[in-house]
Amino acid sequence: MSGWDEGAVFYSDQAQFPRGGGDPDHGSLTRHAALRKFKEFIRGFSGEKGEFLYRESLVHNPDHLTIAMEDMNSFDADLADKIRKLPADYLPLLESAAAEVLASLRSKIASETGEMEEPVTGDVQIFLSSKENPVSMRSIGAEYMSKLVKIAGITIAASRVKAKATYVTLLCKNCKNIKTVACRPGLGGAIVPRSCDHVPQPGEEPCPLDPWIVAPDKSKYVDLQTLKLQENPEDVPTGELPRNVLLSVDRHLVQSVVPGTRLTVIGIFSVFQASATQKGAVGVKQPYIRVVGMEQTREMNTNGPSTFTLDEELEFKEFAQRPDAYAKLCSMIGPSIYGHPDVKKAIACLLFGGSKKRLPDGVRLRGDTHVLLLGDPSTAKSQFLKFVEKTAPIAVYTSGKGSSAAGLTASVIRESSSREFYLEGGAMVLADGGVVCIDEFDKMRPEDRVAIHEAMEQQTISIAKAGITTVLNSRTSVLAAANPPSGRYDDLKTAQDNIDLQTTILSRFDLIFIVKDVRSYDQDKLIAGHIIKVHASGAAAAKKDDSIEGENWLKRYIEYCRGSCQPRLSEKAAEMLQNKYVEIRQRMRQQAHETGRSSAVPITVRQLEAIIRLSEALAKMRLTSVATQEHVEEAFRLFNVSTMDAARSGINEHLNLTPEIANEIKQAETQIKRRMGIGSHISERRLIDDLTRMGMNESIIRRALLIMHQRDEVEYKRERHIIVRKA
């Protein structure tokens, strides 16, 4: 007989909760009892240390309160169950309970007349939080309708803030009668009655049907914003398009997220009528989630270090102490790829990343490493990219021809229903805190390649389009693969001709590897043996789970290291780095002086920062907080075999030429001058074809063009496709 002495009038709440109707199992918990229990919970719930969590929180933040579902469960499981199953009915009760508790906590204040009166308290917005696992966006169906759901994803679009009426004031055209109608929360509207309830006096004209007009200035409003949440890239099944769901946020949650943020949201799965145009389909509604709790997942790792068990942490720390930890990690990278030990070490550094730094004046220094693989076809470049896509905690894979500037950075899209613009983040924004793999980097259009300059160095993407001016974060590492312009790496050409990318983009890559397909009998035999073994044992390897386990283990280890370790350089290592960098610059200056031209790959301060990042990444692999001299030495070794090797590669034009070749080059120069008048221009391909028809060697013609270019007799235009003869 619980609740018989409440003094409740037993017909008052039948409209709100019809008995046996909306909630068949709601038992004896009436609206009044629920309100009283909610007040009891907010006022009396004490944490582990005996402090009153929610009471304290309300006093400090009178306009909103975050309630953990676990606390509600331990206080009264029945009440928590009601909120899960009928959130739309019980959440307003919880909000009014919080407002009443807040009013009772406030002390009375003196009014203008000197009398003591109750302080005015506004509405309190309730946020819910829960530690349960989020459900997949694909599994949300009709059975979740009007219940609480928790989903995780990445925001790809945010609309402008709109004003949503909570109470609409209606005015009768005929008798000036005023009526207030409550609006449904979320994206629902108000139900306006058809007729006026004014009783006409004798001789008075009765009110017609639909007499109401809305008085906007007398209505009450709250802020409302719609977001688009897309599945996390790592949760999308292979070959499927990522799903997205509409979210509506109101009051204090408005403008708290930008596109590209990873979110976990708790909300009420609801529906709204999409548009008035679909007249036939009355029963078909558009689903959306009305958010009642939202948390941003941490910057670097998707789940935060707290998700690692103690056993895992011990295992990771034990592994990091092993003397062969570095070698073992490198052997786990691309285990099916033969050779390329230095590329594997560089990719290990890219996956672990250096340390982010925030300077006192607000400047951010990036900790992410960028690597470029340049070279012959069939040297496993794309395989490395695919491996990184699978192994990195967050990764996006794109191809050069298939990606535009807007697709990589961010695009502005006009919404069809409201005709307003909103932002959608591209690949660099979606991979925030992870890796972007770009294949066929050289096939990208130059204007698209320029778009990622800012993302690679400043780690932000600035947008100023269609009235939207904003800055999005893209703290990503870039792993790019490219072929030389002629398809294969040509040793007869200079480094500039082989690496046909602009200096501006090359200097942003920390390591540039030139991967050559070296033809040697022993090497070919080993590679062929390895590939045949992989193909033969492929079926057997698929049955074993150790490779998949190893991949998962590596992913977890990378996540753990990135989240829990931020190494810094030791003093000795810093001093050694300084001396070595000055020495390299000296060497490059000398080389430029001797050859009379600068190197294809610039050595700038960015490269010094690159070596610092590599040293930190090497220290991070061993979970040490200080990068020592041996880490710096290994970083220099990697830098030498990659970027420095690329800078020195190709032929040196000032080799001692034999008299015959020198004579042939002279003849080629004469023919080129005959073929091209001063000021005329021709495509390089056509010129070479014409001269080869005359019986000349192509490499001789190219060398002659190089020498003429050095003497400033010809110049290249349109990315070296067109040659212009100068005076």
Query: What pLDDT shows up at residue 304?
Result: 39
Classify domain 142-196+206-274+285-296 by CATH architecture: Beta Barrel (2.40)
Q: Do domains 142-196+206-274+285-296 and 310-565 have the same CATH topology?
A: no
Name the fold adopted by 31-107+121-129: mini-chromosome maintenance (MCM) complex, chain A, domain 1 (3.30.1640)
Kindly indicate the confidence band of residue 306, based on its pLDDT and cuts at 50, 70 and 90. very low
Question: 428: Cβ–Cβ under 8 A, 6 or more apart, which residues?
Answer: 408, 409, 436, 452, 455, 461, 474, 476
- % of the chain at pLDDT higher than 90: 0
Whether 199 shows a pLDDT value over 80: the answer reads: no
- Please state the rounded mean pLDDT for residues 554-559: 81
Phi-psi region of 470 (alpha: psi -120 to 50; beta: other; left: phi over 0): beta
Query: What pLDDT shows up at residue 117?
Result: 62
Q: Which residue, among 717, 726, 706, 727, has the nearest Cα to 683 in the 3D structure?
A: 717
Query: What pLDDT shows up at residue 364?
Result: 80
Instruction: Enumerate the domain spans of the chain.
Output: 31-107+121-129, 142-196+206-274+285-296, 310-565, 659-725
Selected residue with higher pLDDT from 197 and 298: 197
Could you report the per-residue pLDDT of 483-528, keeping only the tens digit for each? 877 767 766 666 666 777 777 777 778 888 887 777 788 888 888 8
Kindly indicate the confidence band of residue 677, based on its pLDDT and cuts at 50, 70 and 90. confident
Whole-number Å distance between alpha carbons of 706 and 698: 12
Kindly indicate the confidence band of residue 305, based on its pLDDT and cuts at 50, 70 and 90. very low
Half-sphere exposure of 149 (CA within 13 A, CB side): 24
Question: 338: Cβ–Cβ under 8 A, 6 or more apart, which residues?
Answer: 526, 527, 530, 531
Residue in the structure block whose two tokens are 């200096």:
503
Lowest-confidence region among 86-95, 390-399, 465-474, 618-627: 465-474
Kindly indicate the confidence band of residue 549, based on its pLDDT and cuts at 50, 70 and 90. low
Half-sphere exposure of 659 (CA within 13 A, CB side): 0
What type of residue sits at position 591?
Answer: Q
What type of residue sits at position 587?
Answer: R
Name the fold adopted by 659-725: Arc Repressor Mutant, subunit A (1.10.10)
Whether 2 shows a pLDDT value over 60: the answer reads: no
Half-sphere exposure of 510 (CA within 13 A, CB side): 30
Whole-number Å distance between alpha carbons of 313 and 305: 10
What type of residue sits at position 715?
Answer: E
The answer to whether the predicted template modeling score (pTM) of the entire model surpasses 0.95 is no
Kindly indicate the confidence band of residue 298, based on its pLDDT and cuts at 50, 70 and 90. low
Could you report the per-residue pLDDT of 17-57, keeping only the tens digit for each? 444 444 444 444 677 888 888 888 888 877 777 677 777 77
- Please state the rounded mean pLDDT for residues 664-690: 84
Query: What pLDDT shows up at residue 671?
Result: 84
Lowest-confidence region among 212-221, 365-374, 601-610: 601-610
Selected residue with higher pLDDT from 602 and 101: 101
Could you report the per-residue pLDDT of 229-248, keeping only the tens digit for each? 888 877 787 778 888 888 88
CATH code matching the domain that covers 310-565, chosen among 3.20.20.300, 2.60.40.420, 3.30.1490.20, 3.40.50.300: 3.40.50.300
Could you report the per-residue pLDDT of 689-723, keeping only the tens digit for each? 888 888 888 878 887 887 777 677 788 887 777 88
DSSP code of residue 494 = B
- Please state the rounded mean pLDDT for residues 594-600: 64
